[in-house]
Amino acid sequence: MKWIILIVTTALMQIETIRVKGHWIAGGNVVFPFLVAMLMRWCPRIIKDFKGGLWNTKK
């Protein structure tokens, strides 16, 4: 599911960039999929660690 979201988001962003600018911008369009992939792998783990640490604290 994560990869489907990544592919669809990347395609929509590139189409919108071409529509607005009139040409493809290599910098942002190349970097964006990698940033999204990193967030999709990193965020769930960090949220799970935070929730586990928040409710499993010793008093």
pTM, 2 dp: 0.43
Domain ranges of the chain: 2-55
Nearest to 14 by CA among 36, 30, 3: 30
Give the list of residues 6+ apart from residue 18 with CB closer than 8 angstroms, or none.
24
Q: If you search the block for the tokens 């395609």, which residue do you land on?
A: 11
pLDDT of 12-53, one tens digit each? 877 887 788 777 766 666 677 777 777 777 777 777 777 766
Tokens of 2: 């994560």
Residues 6, 8, 13, CA angle at the centre, nearest 5°?
95
